[in-house]
Structure 1
Amino acid sequence: MTRPRRLAAAALVLVSALLLLAVPRPVRAFGEEGAWNPRPLLTGDARWEGVRATAPARWSFELERRTSAPARRNPTTVRADDPALLAEPFALWGGEGDLPPLTEREVFGLRRFLALGGVLLVDDFAPGSGAFGRAARRELARVLPEGSPIPIGTENVVFRSFYLLPRAVGRVEGPPKLSAIVRGGMPQVIFSDHDLAGALARSEGGGPSVEVTPGGEAQRERAFRLAVNIAMYVLCSNYKDDQVHAPFLMRRRAIDDNRPRSAPARP
């Protein structure tokens, strides 16, 4: 090959390489699989068991049944000190009693999770005593010393990400508002004093595992809607800008607008 041809061939290789670099490539992102995975968060020697063990799977089922969002039917647990915590954008930290102090590795893991934009739901299974909620707030103050929970209600996107909710409920009615540590204008740690997992839990026969009080099955339906809203909030930071779910949101709004006001809301 003559020198001019060698130079031309080299130039062609260089141009081809530059074109390949200019082509957009997929970028690994937080929760890139896109499926809702309501992972229970485990700390210390805690295990995910008992009557609420089925709650995450029910959460996924209700989300898929009501929206266009995909969800994992068998959600996985994750530990606060496990690097796998960073692979998904959501975790559910629930319990009913006091907590031992988080280890330094657990504090570091949760801090990284939240720094990457993860959302944590703290669900008190026994809000009557409030022991778990107080302990979780105490430990999260170590994780996010600059953040303090504030009440959030119907003005917040969590209450209108899919359903328009007048208040928060779970297994118990609890306070009408949630609390949240808000960062960058968005709730990132959400506190529920309602035992949302208790309302979601199902027995082996498919029926409810835990009685809902005082509103019975109508209250359970409202708890389902709150769970769906939290999932949609996590999956779409602002649903108004997300076109994937627009047809479902529009259909829901049309149904709500056309329903006689005296008729009860359908599940």
Structure 2
Amino acid sequence: MNRRTFLHLLGAAGLSLTIAPTALALDEQHRVGLARLRYRGGNDNPRPGALRRMLQEVGRHTSVEINPDVAEIWGEREELFLHPMIVLAGDRAFEPFPEDVIENLRLYLSSGGFLYIDSAEGLTDGPFINSVRRELQRIFPDRPLRTVPREHTVHKSFYLIDRPMGRLDIAGNFEGIFDEERACVLLNANDLLGALARDAFGGWEFQVSPGGDRQRDMAQRLAVNIVLYALTIDYKADQVHIPFILRRRRWRVD
């Protein structure tokens, strides 16, 4: 289900929205896009071009209409609600978010938004991930990161994949924060974007270890799964009726 269909069904279901229609993650062409969350200090774009590649994989393998132009945002309230999926990436420590960004992210994630976090530092407890944990603790003081089980929908939203993939294989599971059953935050320490990145000549920018081409292929599939999960949450798992999906999606600001 792409975002155009989602909006159509949203209207048909008669759900109440208290934000402007433009705050529902679509550009003027009604194509699905995503945004990269910027921050101060550190490196918020360690794999330039990889998010565009991620969207291209979705467009190539599914019927979802994509907007390959990745937005860059600082976490202001209005811009957050223009995107169904926000990506936070890095490879080193970064400064704390301003308090208003923390509040905006809490509202966004509690209202149906999705944050994917991709670490390029090659560590499961390195400076970038420690900075991430610090900020997530500020956003959701009562919701710690926890291990995402292998049977979670993100592993089967389009392809069947039993673990997080990427340039590396150092973490056997995603970590996540949940809003009831819905994962509103997913953290991958395996550098998924590093497996997707290409150089100026179209060649792969980084080697993938230890699984080589097979691991890269699975990382490309996982990229599709993550975007599809951001759009459809647990639909693949339970095949529930669309109005129920929309109630669970809760894409509104109360």
In the alignment, the residues of structure 1 paired with residue 241 and residue 60 of structure 2 have an alpha-carbon distance, to the nearest angstrom, of 19
* Number of corresponding residues: 220
Which of 32, 36, 39 lines up with 1:40 in the alignment?
36
Compare 207-216 and 123-132 and name the one that shifted more. 123-132
In the alignment, the residues of structure 2 paired with residue 43 and residue 164 of structure 1 have an alpha-carbon distance, to the nearest angstrom, of 33
% identity of equivalent residues: 30
Compare 54-63 and 26-35 and name the one that shifted more. 26-35
Whether contact under 8 Å (2:171, 2:189) holds in the other structure is yes
Q: 2:29 aligned with 1:31, yes or no? A: no
Whether contact under 8 Å (1:236, 1:242) holds in the other structure is no
In the alignment, the residues of structure 1 paired with residue 185 and residue 164 of structure 2 have an alpha-carbon distance, to the nearest angstrom, of 16
Partner of 2:226 in structure 1? Answer: 230
SS in structure 2 opposite 1:199? helix
Question: Gaps (5+ residues) in structure 1?
Answer: 1-23, 245-267
Partner of 1:98 in structure 2? Answer: 93
TM-score (norm 1): 0.75
Question: Gaps (5+ residues) in structure 2?
Answer: 1-13, 243-254
Q: 2:132 aligned with 1:136, yes or no? A: yes
Higher relative contact order (CA 8 A, sep 6+): 2
Letter in 2 for 1:196: L
Whether contact under 8 Å (1:123, 1:133) holds in the other structure is no
In the alignment, the residues of structure 1 paired with residue 98 and residue 190 of structure 2 have an alpha-carbon distance, to the nearest angstrom, of 27
| CA 1:49–1:145: 2 relative to 1, 3 Å | closer
TM-score (norm 2): 0.79
| CA 1:139–1:25: 2 relative to 1, 3 Å | closer
Whether contact under 8 Å (2:44, 2:90) holds in the other structure is no
**Post-superposition offset of 1:88:** 1.1
In the alignment, the residues of structure 2 paired with residue 187 and residue 25 of structure 1 have an alpha-carbon distance, to the nearest angstrom, of 22
Partner of 1:72 in structure 2? Answer: 67
In the alignment, the residues of structure 1 paired with residue 204 and residue 241 of structure 2 have an alpha-carbon distance, to the nearest angstrom, of 34
Whether contact under 8 Å (2:42, 2:92) holds in the other structure is no
State how 1:1-267 maps to structure 2 within 5 Å.
28=21, 30-32=24-26, 35-44=31-40, 49=45, 52-81=47-76, 83-128=78-123, 130-240=126-236, 241=239
Deviations 1:192-232 (CA, angstroms, capped at 9, x unpaired): 11111111111111111122111112111111111110111
Whether contact under 8 Å (1:121, 1:189) holds in the other structure is yes
Partner of 2:4 in structure 1? Answer: none
In the alignment, the residues of structure 2 paired with residue 219 and residue 186 of structure 1 have an alpha-carbon distance, to the nearest angstrom, of 27
Letter in 1 for 2:92: G
**Post-superposition offset of 1:25:** 11
Whether contact under 8 Å (1:147, 1:181) holds in the other structure is yes
Deviations 1:80-102 (CA, angstroms, capped at 9, x unpaired): 23521121111110101112111
